Every structure is written in structure tokens, then in C-alpha cells.
């Protein structure tokens, strides 16, 4: 699993630049367009939150755990609906931003959570975090299924009977290359090269093999209530993020100038910039090529 240090390496250096581009408590996970790509990014994110809360049965007083809460968009949305959100993150910058905005967020690994210390919840959500739970090293060691089983077992202990978990995650697509072949030494522009660069952007992360693997890991504790593919939605979300990231402003130019020394001295940092700026972002390109896929899964506790 990505460590606290790796999450800081992934997100902290561009935290201010991203917030200037997207907003203080913006949602940095896939929005919900549901085929209507005339929506604004904000409306698509609001619609996603409404869909999550409908699936979870949120009402005033509802207590929600958000695992991998980012800048707190789900916590903000449930607060507006009279519920109480608690967030977990491994990003120090996300944690600091959430605390500035009055959210109850802990800089903590989900593996360290226990019902005796955090209590139980009416529902659990995890958006865009599950794909970071298994590292490349853990994947090669055959630990991926165990890690996923441990996650679902924890969620089950935190939920009441028939309590629900909303999971939104990237998975590998039909055109995914083997992990061994994905390096920055692969031919430029190839699927292997794109994923190799993204491995530099997201150290400590390897995606689920497919949705069947996720369901199998959840099955002792949960049944699948709903499953929807979000690949086209994520392509549009990433397109909108890229446009906003590239839009110029004086504060953003100042923040960008602060990154120049890192660009000059760090090859890994240059790969990170390449993955963000070329082809509208390598994540988007991997989704377009079906190297990666995306799923929204609603799970209900069975016992």
C-alpha cells in the first residue's frame, strides 16, 4: 500500500496549484455525467454526491466514514445534508486542508482503524483510494487479494446489518500490459510506457486486476447491490481537470515557478509533469485506450 511518505510525494508538491485550478474543497475523483456531457464539472460532482447518498440512505444524523477523503468534498456535501462525516487520508496536505475547513479528518491508514477507537458508522464511502491499497511489491508477493479481504472485513465491522459501502475505483482494462513490462524504458507512447510513467507518479500503487477480483474479496461480508462503469465519465472528468490546470492566472504562475528547481534536478519529477501534461494526461490516455477502466460499486453487508 502507498505509505504516508509516498502519498505526500504524490500530492503535496502540487497541492496549492491544484486547489487554485479546481477549488478549495474540490472533488478529485471521477464525476458523474451519466451520458450528459453538457454538465459542468461542478454539477457532475454534485450529482455524484447525491447518487452516493441515495445509495447509502443518507438522512440527517447519518454518520459516514470516507476512506481516502481528499480535500473533503464528500464530507462537505454530507454536512450540508445534516449528516456527520469522518475522513481518513494519508496525504498531509489533504489533512491540513480538511482541518482548515472544519472537517473531522485523521491522518491515518485504514489498516490502523478499529471500532473501539473510532466507533461504528451508518455507511462507508471510498472514492479513488482502493486503487492505492496494494503496492507493486505487494502485488508481486501475492498479497493483493489478502489486502482487499482485510479492507472489506474492516468495513463490515464498522457497519450495522445491511449497512452499505460505496466503492469507486480504477481497475485494469482489457488492454492492460503486464506489470513487469511497464517501465519508462519501454517504447515511448506505448501502453507499457504510459503505465511505467504513472508508476512514478503513484509510487506504492497497483490497481485491481478486474472487478471480479474486487467482488470476490468482498463476498464473505458483502453482496453487490449496484455496479456501473465510469470509464467515459472519468475521461470527461480528466479532460475538464486538464483544461482548468492549464488555464493561466498570476497565482498559478507563481506556484508553477516554485516547481522549476524540482523539474531541473529530479528525473522522477519530470516524469510526473510529463504524465500530467501530455495527451491531456496519461491517466486519461490509459482510459481512452482501455488500458485502465473504472467502476462504481455499491455493496451491502450480508451479516
pLDDT in tens, 49-82: 999 999 999 999 999 999 999 999 999 999 999 9
H/E stretch holding 64:
strand 63-67
Q: What average pLDDT does the chain have? A: 89
Closest CA to 113 of 141, 154, 148: 154
Look-up: residue for cell 478529485?
28
Residue with cell 470476490: 216
Residue 244: pLDDT band (50, 70, 90) is confident
Q: Is residue 294 part of a domain?
A: yes
Which residues, other chains included, contact 72 with Cβ-Cβ below 8 Å and sequence gap of 6+?
25, 66, 85, 87, 94, 97, 98, 101, 103, 105
**Residue 277 within a domain:** no
Domain of 109 in residue numbering reads as 4-178+202-245+290-301
Q: Is residue 16, in this structure, part of any structural domain at all? A: yes
Predicted pLDDT of residue 194: 93
pLDDT score for 224? 97
Which has more confidence, 280 or 225? 225
Q: What is the reported pLDDT for 264?
A: 77
Structural domain contains residue 44: yes
Which pLDDT does position 48 carry in this prediction? Answer: 98
pTM of the model: 0.90
pLDDT in the model for residue 115: 80
Could you read off the pLDDT of 138-185 as tens digits, one per residue? 999 999 999 999 999 999 999 999 999 999 999 999 999 999 999 999
Higher-confidence residue of 87 and 205: namely: 87
Which residues 6+ apart lie within 8 Å of 107 measured at CB?
A: 4, 89, 90, 92, 95
Rounded CA separation 169/153 (Å): 18
Q: For the chain, how many structural domains are there in total?
A: 1
Q: Please name every residue paired with 196 in a beta bridge, in sequence order, or none if there are none.
A: none
16 pLDDT tier (thresholds 50, 70, 90): confident
CATH code at position 81: 3.40.50.150
Does the residue 208 lie in any domain? yes
Decide if 278 is inside a domain. no
Question: Are the beta carbons of 122 and 55 closer than 8 angstroms?
Answer: no
Which segment of 17-21, 224-228, 271-275 scores lowest on mean pLDDT?
271-275
* Residue 54 domain-assigned (yes or no): yes
Amino acid at each position: 500500500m502507498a505509505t504516508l511518505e509516498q502519498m505526500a510525494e504524490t500530492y503535496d508538491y502540487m497541492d496549492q496549484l491544484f486547489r487554485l485550478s479546481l477549488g478549495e474543497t474540490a472533488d478529485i475523483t471521477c464525476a458523474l455525467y451519466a451520458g450528459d456531457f453538457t454538465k459542468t464539472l461542478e454539477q457532475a460532482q454534485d450529482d455524484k454526491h447525491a447518487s452516493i447518498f441515495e445509495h447509502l440512505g443518507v438522512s440527517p444524523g447519518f454518520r459516514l466514514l470516507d476512506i481516502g477523503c481528499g480535500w473533503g468534498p464528500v464530507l462537505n456535501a454530507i454536512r450540508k445534508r445534516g449528516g456527520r462525516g469522518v475522513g481518513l487520508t494519508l496525504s498531509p496536505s489533504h489533512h491540513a486542508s480538511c482541518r482548515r475547513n472544519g472537517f473531522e479528518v485523521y491522518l491515518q491508514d485504514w489498516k490502523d482503524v478499529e471500532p473501539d477507537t473510532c466507533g461504528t458508522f451508518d455507511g462507508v464511502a471510498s472514492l479513488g483510494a482502493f486503487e492505492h491499497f496494494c503496492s507493486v511489491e505487494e502485488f508481486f508477493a501475492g498479497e493483493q487479494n489478502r489486502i482487499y479481504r482485510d479492507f472489506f472485513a474492516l468495513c463490515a465491522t464498522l457497519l450495522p446489518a445491511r449497512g452499505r459501502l460505496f466503492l469507486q475505483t480504477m481497475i485494469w482494462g482489457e488492454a492492460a500490459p503486464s506489470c513487469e513490462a511497464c517501465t519508462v524504458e519501454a517504447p515511448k507512447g506505448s501502453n507499457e510506457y504510459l503505465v511505467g510513467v504513472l508508476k512514478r507518479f503513484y509510487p506504492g500503487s497497483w490497481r485491481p486486476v478486474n472487478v471480479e477480483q474486487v467482488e470476490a474479496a468482498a463476498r464473505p461480508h458483502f453482496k453487490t447491490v449496484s455496479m456501473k462503469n465510469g470509464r467515459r465519465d472519468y475521461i470527461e472528468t480528466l479532460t475538464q481537470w486538464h483544461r482548468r490546470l492549464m488555464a493561466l492566472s498570476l497565482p498559478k504562475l507563481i506556484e508553477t515557478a516554485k516547481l522549476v528547481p524540482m523539474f531541473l534536478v529530479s528525473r522522477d519529477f519530470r516524469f510526473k509533469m510529463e504524465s500530467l501534461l501530455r495527451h491531456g494526461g496519461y491517466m486519461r490516455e490509459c482510459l481512452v485506450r482501455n488500458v485502465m477502466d473504472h467502476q462504481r460499486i455499491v455493496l451491502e453487508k450480508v451479516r
